[in-house]
Amino acid sequence: MAKVIVSNSWKHHAYEAAYALQQAGHLKKLYSSFYDKVQKTPAQALLTSLLPESLKKK
């Protein structure tokens, strides 16, 4: 089974694509420049709250 790495430096549909790939068992990694573990902007906090728990763990 092929594994896919999703990389995105801004917005678009990277989270939706990563979620669909994860559900199908094909997601290897998701890289995004839109996450700061220490201090989140309001937009980052909103996006993080919308992610499935399985994508929030890293």
Rounded distance between C-alpha atoms, residue 58 and residue 39, angstroms: 15
- Residue 37: domain span: 4-56
Number of domains in the chain: 1
* Three-state SS sequence of the chain: CCCEEEEECCCCCHHHHHHHHHHCCCEEEEEECCCCCCCCCHHHHHHHHHCCHHHHCC
Segment among 2-6, 28-32, 36-40, 43-47 with least mean pLDDT: 36-40
* Residue pLDDT, tens place only, 1-33: 688 787 776 666 778 888 888 999 998 888 876
AA letter at 50 = L
